A and B are shown apart, each in its own frame.
Chain A
């Protein structure tokens, strides 16, 4: 994109430094002068919110690691030690545990925003795939983090999820043993999960760097789904416009987050995780964290061990192929009346799968899960490719400026 920074430091020291390491100019061109489409709505603030959440999780996580002991004999008690003894430990742990949930709330809204406005379509395929990779890393990180308190749900969640790999033909059992470092989830497993739980967020941060880089190469999508044609007419500078909009969105999000932390910190967790891990007794009803529930429902909907595992991982992997499954030439659902309906049904199907994942796997629940699983895959494999060929779309505005004028009419013109 055009709109390159013409940043010149005002001080002599600044100019001396800039000619040797132009980092201030990079910051200026990325977060100050960077042109953003004029018509971005609040769904576009989740990128900044997610960046904040990643930093918040890393900061609270580093603090928790100062007080936590990754050993089967001490892990559970060290978490209680954090809750009761460490200064502000309760706050930091609840901030981290609920932060994981808030991270997923934000990432799901961010993904649905992309799905609705066609943000995965050319030229943003690489940007989208990097996002899918971040999502996968987030899931791995969240899963391993949930194991660390070494409660009953930690232990049995770890057992169930690692056993997924035993479904792989021929080498499945060997891989599972390798993951465990033994013949069951035990101290070696806890130790490596702690190590990886500390590592993965930094890998996420690295991929986020690529994600932002790719974003700044192709520019942001926008609610109209048309590319920037004239920087003067179609964009505004990132600072102050996007900065303040992001800040306001973040504050609203933090109120929502703080409400969980201070008023119902265990609502999103499971009571059984306050019982120390017992390898001899499985709790009556194992459920993963809420953000995995739709995939858990897909796993249980398929009446075959290998099939269920393939479907579950496939449900995530298919997202990476979205740029080529969607054949429509129109990006934004605002101009795709039929897609819009299928999109909202898809959202309902995901919520439905989430509910079914939390219920016992029998009777009508399984049948419902099969129907919704069929829709989940059908949405990507059948509806997306065919809809692009047959849907009659609404006229798309020629430029972002036209889209704003069409929406706000003459009122907008009087400002210019």
Chain B
């Protein structure tokens, strides 16, 4: 091959770059389905919402239901529990949030029952704040599901939900 230095791009340069670009785009397009297939499939997405009848939960009771494979706590709070939650000084909390921002109706608290530390399921009506206590590493949640002490960084997550009627909610 001639080795005279050329400043102008040659046809060969053009073909080389075009082929390389097509190969890169083609490889990317071929790889994408193999990554995407590990995401939730249509049958999993179809189960992404669930309806719960809350009429059977008496005051002070907690119902645990499964939503997206995880426990969700539906807590029928007593007057005292509501007052305790409202009385907490928000700006001293590790994850500041008012109780009213976490509920749609004060007597009903709906939270995902997964500790925000490392994913264990906390125990209800236990711990220093009588909310939840996580037995794995000692995270203490109040009656609003907010983290008060222990290693967990955030409050128990409030899932998207809505009241279909006074006795029925839809989670997700």
Q: Residues on A close to B: CB < 8 A?
A: 59, 63, 66-67, 81, 84-89, 91-92
Contacts and interface: CB of A to CB of B under 8 A. Distances in A.
Contact of B43 (A59, A85, A88, A92): A85
A410 to B, nearest CB: 21
Interface residues of B, number: 11
Interface stretch (B33-41, B117-125, B156-164): B33-41
B43 A87 contact: no
B38 A88 contact: no
Nearest to A95: B33
- The majority secondary structure among interface residues of chain B is helix
A88 B35 CA distance: 10
Contacts of B38: 66
Contact of B36 (A67, A81, A84, A87): A87
A89 B40 CA distance: 12
Interface of B: 32-34, 36-39, 41-44
B34 A66 contact: no
A63 B38 CA distance: 9
B34 A63 contact: yes
B157 to A, nearest CB: 25
Contacts, number: 34
Contacts of A63: 34, 37
A88 B42 contact: no
Nearest to A84: B42
Contacts of A84: 42
The interface centre, meaning the residue of A59, A66, A81, A85 with most chain B CB atoms within 10 A of its CB, is A85
A78 to B, nearest CB: 11
Contact of B39 (A59, A87, A91, A92): A87
30 contacts: A59-B34, A63-B34, A63-B37, A66-B37, A66-B38, A67-B37, A67-B41, A81-B41, A81-B43, A84-B42, A85-B42, A85-B43, A85-B44, A86-B37, A86-B41, A86-B42, A87-B33, A87-B36, A87-B37, A87-B39, A87-B41, A87-B42, A88-B33, A88-B34, A88-B36, A88-B37, A89-B37, A89-B41, A91-B33, A92-B37
A378 B32 CA distance: 51
Contacts of A85: 41-44
A3 B42 CA distance: 55
The interface centre, meaning the residue of A85, A87, A88 with most chain B CB atoms within 10 A of its CB, is A87
Contacts of A87: 33, 36-37, 39, 41-42
A84 B33 CA distance: 14
A22 B41 CA distance: 44
B128 to A, nearest CB: 44
B41 A92 contact: no
A244 to B, nearest CB: 10
Contacts of A66: 37-38
